[in-house]
């Protein structure tokens, strides 16, 4: 009875939705990336219905585009790119995951996931390396100018190293195999339970919101 009294307090569209990853990158020259897996987490004490929508449904095949997630459980959603062509390189498509309670039709929460097709993983790695080098040079120049004698400059506050470290740890935890996954080659002590991954997803969401506010 207590749970039934709390359910009407849920406001349409305001329920946080936990999905990992938040971006899907397909590489044309790597067929293993043409199939991606989205994991939807349900940390709540009530079951959720979900539905997957897409801005360009003709380019993708979504296995189990609608279904349900039990309380404090997760579900994997397989997405395949079926239209790998050069004309689609760099085009950003969007998937929207809508969740609702089993007994209601209104969407309690939504989460958008960006999907993009790139020509080559090697080219992407090269661009990321060049970007990191430019950022490193920019930071070095900034600190040299900031700490020159006789000049006092206010350094804008950013995310703390602890927050970044915790975020990396949570992402790594979500990428580890789930307990009971017999196909994984990772050692048994690296297998995490569903509840542990739910906690990691929840902490990652809090860290992301904190970083965005800084």
Quick: pLDDT tens for 81-105.
999 999 999 999 999 999 998 878 7
Asked whether residue 34 carries a pLDDT value surpassing 90, the answer given is yes
Highest mean pLDDT among 85-94, 113-122, 134-143, 162-171: 85-94
Q: Average model confidence (pLDDT) for the chain?
A: 81
Asked whether residue 175 carries a pLDDT value surpassing 90, the answer given is no
User: Mapped to the 3 state alphabet, what secondary structure does 20-34 carry?
Assistant: ECCEEEEECCCHHHH
Asked whether residue 204 carries a pLDDT value surpassing 80, the answer given is yes
| pTM higher than the cut 0.85 | no
| Beta carbons within 10 angstroms of residue 214's beta carbon | 10
Asked whether residue 78 carries a pLDDT value surpassing 90, the answer given is yes
Q: What is the mean pLDDT of residues 21-38?
A: 93
Asked whether residue 116 carries a pLDDT value surpassing 60, the answer given is yes
Distances (CA, A) of 44 to 5, 8, 134, 183: 15, 15, 42, 28
d(CA 68, CA 19): 14
Positive/negative CA dihedral, 105, 108, 94, 23: negative
β-pair partners for 73:
42
Band the pLDDT of 137: cuts 50, 70, 90.
low
Asked whether residue 3 carries a pLDDT value surpassing 50, the answer given is no
Positive/negative CA dihedral, 125, 127, 133, 136: negative
Asked whether residue 111 carries a pLDDT value surpassing 90, the answer given is yes
Asked whether residue 2 carries a pLDDT value surpassing 50, the answer given is no
Tokens of 167: 């975020």
**Higher-confidence position of 28 and 179:** 28
Residue % of the chain over a pLDDT of 90: 43
């Amino acid at each position: 009875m207590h749970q039934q009294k709390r359910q009407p307090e849920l406001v349409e569209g305001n329920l946080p939705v936990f999905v990992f990853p938040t971006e899907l990158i397909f590489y044309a020259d790597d067929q293993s990336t043409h199939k991606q897996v989205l994991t939807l987490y349900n940390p709540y004490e009530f079951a959720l219905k979900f539905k997957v929508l897409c801005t360009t449904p003709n380019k993708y095949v979504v296995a189990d585009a609608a279904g349900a997630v039990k309380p404090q459980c997760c579900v994997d959603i397989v997405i395949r790119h079926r239209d790998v062509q050069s004309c689609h390189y760099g085009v950003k498509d969007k998937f929207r995951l809508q969740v609702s309670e089993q007994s209601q039709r209104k969407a309690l929460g939504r989460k958008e996931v960006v999907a993009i097709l790139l020509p080559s993983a090697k080219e992407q790695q090269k661009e990321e390396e060049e970007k990191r080098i430019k950022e490193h040079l920019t930071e070095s120049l900034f600190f040299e100018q900031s700490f020159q004698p006789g000049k006092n400059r206010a350094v804008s506050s950013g995310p703390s190293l602890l927050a970044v470290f915790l975020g990396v740890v949570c992402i790594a935890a979500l990428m580890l195999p789930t307990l009971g996954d017999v196909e994984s080659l990772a050692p048994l002590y690296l297998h995490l339970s569903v509840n542990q991954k739910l906690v990691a997803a929840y902490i990652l969401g809090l860290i992301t919101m904190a970083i965005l506010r800084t």
